[in-house]
Amino acid sequence: MARRGNSIIKGIEINEIIAVLNKAYADEWLAYYQYFVQAKVVKGIMKDAAVTELTEHAADELRHANMVADRILQLGGTPLLNPQEWFTHTNCGYEEPKELDVVSLLQDSIKGEQCAISVYSQLADMTREKDIVTYDIVSQILADEVEHEEDLQSLHDDITEFIEDIKKNIN
Ligand code: FE
Ligand code: FE
Ligand code: MG
């Protein structure tokens, strides 16, 4: 553990930061797997565009897990060691794909991103001016999650509009 690095943290317990980061860490692994498996099983119209986006997001969530794990270690904590703990610690849970069509999977993921935005926004509020390094990391992740929501929503809107156009042309 980096002593001087941690001595600059003020007005917040380091153990508390480690605990909330481990919850975010659980979220990132579950989000990673959700995107990974969605990209494998997704079916239907404009599937290729969805696969590209879902695969990119899976890579981003894994990168977030790395960033959070490294910060937990710097703070003297241990990232969750057992995947079973992902389910007991997660804020946002895991949305098992039930309907495998593109629109349903995008809706599932949009929900997940909205939860992630709330979580990282709270973590930014909690660490602002108290733990600048964690604040910087959670702000970077927050910006990615905002981009994720936008990417998924615009793809979702394009696809649903396209489906509507086809329906109109058939009638
Ligand atoms: Fe993430
Ligand atoms: Fe995300
Ligand atoms: Mg994207």
| Ligand minimally distant from the alpha carbon of residue 155 | 3
Smallest Cα–Cα separation from 19: which of 123, 168, 132, 112? 123
The whole-model pTM stands at 0.95
Task: Identify the DSSP state of 129.
Answer: T
Smallest Cα–Cα separation from 121: which of 106, 137, 139? 139
Rounded distance from Cα 53 to ligand 1 centre (Å):
14
How big is the chain, counted in residues? 171
Rounded distance from Cα 171 to ligand 1 centre (Å):
42
Crossing angle of helices 14-41 and 102-127, rounded to 10° = 170
> In the structure, what pLDDT confidence band is assigned to residue 1 with cuts at 50, 70 and 90?
low
Backbone CA torsion sign across 89, 38, 109, 143: positive
Residue 45: the pLDDT is 87
Of the options 1.10.10.60, 3.20.19.10, 1.10.3720.10, 1.20.1260.10, the CATH number for the domain spanning 11-170: 1.20.1260.10
Rounded distance from Cα 7 to ligand 2 centre (Å):
31
| Domain extents in the chain | 11-170
Rounded distance from Cα 164 to ligand 2 centre (Å):
28
| Ligand minimally distant from the alpha carbon of residue 28 | 1
The pLDDT tens digits of the residues spanning 107-163 come to 999 999 999 999 999 999 999 999 999 999 999 999 999 999 999 999 999 999 999
Residue 151: the pLDDT is 98
| Separation between Cα atoms, residue 92 and residue 26, nearest integer Å | 9
The pLDDT tens digits of the residues spanning 53-98 come to 999 999 999 999 999 999 999 999 999 999 999 999 999 999 999 9
Rounded distance from Cα 170 to ligand 1 centre (Å):
40
| Separation between Cα atoms, residue 39 and residue 67, nearest integer Å | 23
Rounded distance from Cα 137 to ligand 3 centre (Å):
19
Rounded distance from Cα 127 to ligand 2 centre (Å):
20
